[in-house]
Amino acid sequence: MTPKPFNFPAKRTTALFLLTASAAAATAAQTTYSADKLGGEIHGLVRTARAVSSVASTVVDYEFSLRGLQKDSDKYRQAISQVHLRSAKRFLKLCEANRGFYVKAGQFAASQKVLPREYSSTLSSLQDQVAPLPFRVIKEVLKDNLGPDFSEMFLSIDEQPIAAASIAQVHHAVLKSGHEVAIKVQYPWIEQQMNFDTRAMYFISKTIAWLYPQYRFEWLPLAFTKSMSSELDFVQEARNSEIAAKNFRNNKMVRIPHVFWDLTTKLVLTMQFYTGHRIGVDPEKPCSIGCYLTTVAKSLTELIAEMIFVHGYIHGDPHPGNIFVSPEVLLDHAVYTVLDEVFRKDFCQLWEALIVKDSMKTVWLGERFGAGKYSRYLPFIFTGTTIESKSALGISIKEKETLKHELKSLLFEDLSSFMESLPSDFIAILRVDALLRSIIRKLDVSRITRLLTYTKYAVYGRLCPKLDGEGESCKILGTNIWTIDVIPWKEKLKSVQNYLYSKISYDSLGFLVHSVFLIICISPSALF
């Protein structure tokens, strides 16, 4: 039987033409052009043409490869996985060719965990590094923002940058006071490029939505634009940095660079300079200060857990490039998520329910978060277990097979529906948790470390008011959160038992088991 020839639908052909037209029209509304600006627009059109070509190829690939296959068949699942992978590699090449905001967009999309696995794993390899600009260009930005005599404020400025990315580059300098500083300088043309590229991305996304009503990612370009707008405002980044510094003022393992406000503007950020190396540079070697990277990973886990459960103030991008070791220095505070207080308390309750395997409460809280019928998968998402598992720390072979069968029956539309139903605060936690798990996995740190640490801070966050960074002490379990590790373990046990007795109903054996478990969470060495 002769195969029926494939005819690309007329609607798709029209849409591909509109992709180019709409992306170009997105910037045509601007009324005046300088020579430099016109050059930037031409370069933007070249980048947009590459994007349109990649999108068009992807549309054809999906149309041709999946034609005639039943969605619930194994052949469909195998075929769509292959198309996902080919398309992800295609977009990876696009981002690497266009650089700039396309790299940022690829990283942003991968971090959201809403795309198929093939996309997120492929795009996560994108590196946000570029060739630095000559110092004469940076010097003009400094003049415009700090004044023509800005050099008189410094003993020296190293013209060779210590870091360069798609938005800004960083230079080491020494102030007249003798303080060493890092000056983060935004590229002068970056806002213009962002406006062009994000408009193009938005119109391409809208056109895809017209092509495919089941397309569920129209919100991605808008969310990306909002995130990038925050990253381009260095004054907001400086404010975020100061709030984070107040939140962790009593933490001896974490340092947040001090901001020099008289040398900070929307395009220039001057911070205290720290030395060290990026986390995970060489997992086989100990840190330069004599600690081991497993210890660093545990400290990072404590840091993230405290952000989520206690402060409700979450760093938006704690990837290895934003963390120095010697001691742990947290950099780049451009994007933060401030959790709603009711949500923060509910999430603390959810984590407790996940750990003590209270399936009814897990499902109830999942429904409060909007997860609906997908609430049963929350244990798998956070602890790697099923809703029926007896332990939060492991899963049996039979449970693995059952879970594998359930997940196989889910379509991508199910995942999209689930992610769309969740509040933005929940998505922010999923993102930062995924970044943390990726780091500690590479450093060969046990997943149990993360579970125990999260549980400790979930108990903290459940029983104390949200810390606001203004010097308030968090009294919990009869003591202070910062000194809890010096309290005798018998007092801890009594406090936790009283807490469990008032919050959870168990039989006598279960009560004892969970009491001991939470004591280990508070201090794993407490019982030894």
Angle (CA) 205-206-212 rounded to 5° is 90
Element (H, E) at 61: helix 35-66
Find the helix or strand (DSSP H, E) in which 313 lies. Answer: strand 313-315
The Cα–Cα gap between 205 and 216 comes to 10
Q: What are phi and psi of 463, to 5 degrees?
A: -100, -5
Spell 402-420 as b/e; 16+ CB within 10 A means b. Answer: ebeeeeeeeebeebbebbe
Handedness of CA 358, 524, 426, 244 (dihedral sign): positive
Is 317 one of the catalytic residues?
yes
Q: How many Å apart are CA 497 and CA 300, to the nearest integer? A: 28
Rounded CA separation 321/113 (Å):
20
Catalytic residue among 317, 332, 358, 433: 317
Nearest to 25 by CA among 199, 284, 215, 255: 199
Length of the chain equals: 528
Separation CA 388–CA 360 (nearest Å): 11
Neighbours of 513 (CB within 10 A): 13
527 by DSSP, 3-state: which? Answer: coil
To which residue do tokens 């933005």 refer?
424
Cβ-proximal residues to 233 (8 Å cutoff; 6+ apart), any chain: 266, 334
Residue 221: cis peptide before it, omega within 30 degrees of 0: no
Catalytic residue numbers read 317
